[in-house]
Each structure stands twice: as C-alpha cells, then as structure tokens.
Amino acid sequence: MSTGNSQPQTDIWQIEAEAREWFMLQGERALSGSEEIAFAQWMEHPHNRRAYQQLQQIDQSLAALAAGEAGASLRQPSGLSVLMETLRSYFGVSPLNGIAFACTLLLAVGMVYLAPWQSEPAVQAYASELAQVRDVVLEDGTRVTLGGDSALEAEFSEDSRRIKLLRGQAFFAVSKDPERPFVVRAQGAEVRVVGTRFDVRTGSKLNPAVKVTVEEGIVDVARKNTADTDGLYSKVRLTAGQQIKVDEHVISPISKVDTTNVASWRQGKFSYRDAPLSEIVADANRYRNDRIVIGTRELESLRVTTAFTADQADTLVAMLEQSLPVRVFKEPDGRVVIWPGTVEH
C-alpha cells in the first residue's frame, strides 16, 4: 500500500469506475433513499469526491460548450475532431483512460449534437471547503448558507425548484414563489416549502439521520420509500421552533428548539443538549483536518451536553477527554480515535 498522497494504480481505476457508475446512475433516475445514503457515504472519502467532481466539471463544461457558439461550430462536419481533441485533453492519450474517454466521447457527442432539441433545466452545483462557511444566492433569490465540507445541486424550471443536498449542512432562506414549490432532498428525506427559513443536515456513517429544523414559516417533511423512488411515506408538517430527524426507517417525534439558536453554526457556534456523541463528532469533522473516529458502538450513542466554536474544533477531543469517561489516541495516519476510558493503547 502506498503512503502519502500516492495511490496504487488499481485503486485509481476502481475509484474512477465507481465515480462513473454513480454519475451515470444519477443521470438516468433519482436515487432511492438507501442509494442516496450509500452515495453520501461514498462521497465522504476525498479521493472519491474528487473523481466525482471532475466528472461534474466535464459535464458542465460540455453543456456550456453545446449551448454556445462553439457548439454550433462543433456540429459542422469538421467539428467532431475538435471535440475529440478537447476531450482528449481531459483524459490524456494513454490506453489506461481509453474506456473513460470513449464513454465520455459518446456522452459529449450526444450533448453537442442534440443540444438544440433539449430543454432540460441546467443543474447548478455549489460546494464549500473543509471548515468554510459559504453564502450563495440561487437564481430565484433564495439565500443559502453552506456549512463546512457541504455540497448541493440546484435545478430550476418554470414550475419547480429542486435542491439536492449531497452532503453536509445548509440553511435556506427561501424566496417566496407560490407557483413553484421549493423542494430539498437529502438522502431519504424530502422537505417541501413555498417560502420560509429552515436548516437541513445530512446524515453520516456515524449519525445517519437527516435533521430538519425550522426557524420561520411552515415546511412539510416526508421520508422516501426506499423500495419505490417515487413513493413518499410518513409526511409531517413542521412550524417555527420545531425539529425532526429522518432516517431510512422512521421519522422521529417532533421536538422543540429555540428559534434563536437555529443554525447558530452560521456564526461558528455549536451547542448540544443531551445529543449523541456521534452527532457532535460528525459536525466537528467538517471543521477540522484530522478526522475523529469513535472506537465503539456504545460510545457513539453516549449522550453529551457541550458547546464549542468552529475555531475550537481541533481542540474538541481534548475537551471531551476532560469531561467524559473516554481516552483519545492519535493514529499514525492522522486519525484521532476516541475509546472508552478503560482502553489501553
């Protein structure tokens, strides 16, 4: 196994193949609830995420190429060779990338030559870096704040506004438009509103439930039927100051929250009352370089009341070690592992 930033060539092939499979699957249909959870977990690995983002960049570049004057010229008889050279610059000329090049060439030819007859709305992608809080304004005027290491895709048409929260956390201040419902999908959950302010956090391996919190207005939340991608189960209506958690099996009872603290993470503040340790660690990992890992299942469900700021994320484990019956060890690969206090390293 290689060390540092290098990877065995077979690993790179596998990652690229998996990225293409996920990309093509999402181009064909909506993911089921269980598939969205699996995709989110796959995207947590930085090498996987980089490979998938490269495909997205190529897709967006080709879409822009097809829609512009360059697309018109490419549809001329001599244009195909120009297109091939453009794609070859992405993949190189080695046999290693031959399959990827061929697949993308077929996709690109279809996009360029069929673009004049297509009317599908464009998908806009937004992402934040590790430990970055980013504000963006969508084309309908909706303001979105992305938490650290978060990503979403936005798709707008004449009668709908659809958002897919791919990972992380986002706060939405939705621009009112009764004619176009605003729908956010995050793993197995779907949130539907007209105009309101609410927060959505995706699940993770440690804490798989999607959390929805309302600061202002009314939102409808539903759990997707994992056996039928179009089916929705367990619809719940939330109002200001209410919160629920959604996983692939159940929607939790509604709980009350202080509206002044909804999405306080936008100001770099994190507070928890009787929360599972897994939830705290999942949040902290989006604001620090060395990932925290919980050593046992029992510790994942340990209830904790604590607070910290984004600039304290790197010292959080020391705070936990002082206040909880746990021990913390740093592994050679950089991971920080939390074990029960009785464990010797």
Residue 326 has pLDDT above 60, yes or no: yes
Q: Which of 19-33, 150-164, 233-247, 275-289 has the lowest mean pLDDT?
A: 19-33
Please provide residue 291's backbone torsions phi and psi, each rounded to the nearest 5 degrees: -70, 145
DSSP state of 181: -
Q: Per-residue pLDDT averaged across 238-254, rounded? A: 91
pTM over 0.85: no
Q: Which of 43-57, 181-195, 243-257, 311-325 has the lowest mean pLDDT?
A: 43-57
Select the more confidently predicted residue: 206 or 291.
291
- Residue ranges and CATH numbers for the domains of the chain are 9-117 (no CATH), 123-258 (2.60.120.1440), 268-340 (3.55.50.30)
Select the more confidently predicted residue: 240 or 223.
240
Q: 158: how many CB neighbours lie within 10 A of its CB?
A: 7
Q: Per-residue pLDDT averaged across 102-106, rounded? A: 52
Q: Per-residue pLDDT averaged across 325-336, rounded? A: 91
- For residue 299, what are the CA distances in angstroms to 242, 279, 302, 334? 27, 11, 5, 20
Q: Per-residue pLDDT averaged across 90-106, rounded? A: 48
User: What per-residue confidence (pLDDT) applies to 95?
Assistant: 40
Three-state DSSP class for residue 299: helix
**Per-residue pLDDT tens digits for 108-147:** 555 444 444 445 567 899 999 999 999 999 999 999 999 9
Residue 305 has pLDDT above 80, yes or no: yes
Residue 77 has pLDDT above 90, yes or no: no
**What confidence category does residue 10 fall into, taking pLDDT thresholds of 50, 70 and 90?**
low
**What confidence category does residue 149 fall into, taking pLDDT thresholds of 50, 70 and 90?**
very high
Percent of the chain with pLDDT over 70: 74
Q: Per-residue pLDDT averaged across 291-306, rounded? A: 93
- Written as six digits, the tokens of 287 are 């604001």
Q: What burial class does residue 137 get, using C-beta atoms within 10 Å of its C-beta: 0-12 exposed, 13-18 middle, 19+ buried? A: exposed
Q: Per-residue pLDDT averaged across 187-212, rounded? A: 89
User: What per-residue confidence (pLDDT) applies to 184?
Assistant: 97
User: What per-residue confidence (pLDDT) applies to 80?
Assistant: 47
Residue 219 has pLDDT above 60, yes or no: yes
- Written as six digits, the tokens of 15 are 């990652």
**What confidence category does residue 103 fall into, taking pLDDT thresholds of 50, 70 and 90?**
low
User: What per-residue confidence (pLDDT) applies to 232?
Assistant: 56
DSSP for 239-297, please give it: ETTEEEEE-SS-BPPPEE--GGGTTGGGGTEEEEEEEEHHHHHHHHGGG-SSPEEE--H
Select the more confidently predicted residue: 186 or 195.
186
Q: Per-residue pLDDT averaged across 256-282, rounded? A: 90
Closest CA to 208 of 226, 183, 235, 192: 226
Residue 56 has pLDDT above 90, yes or no: no
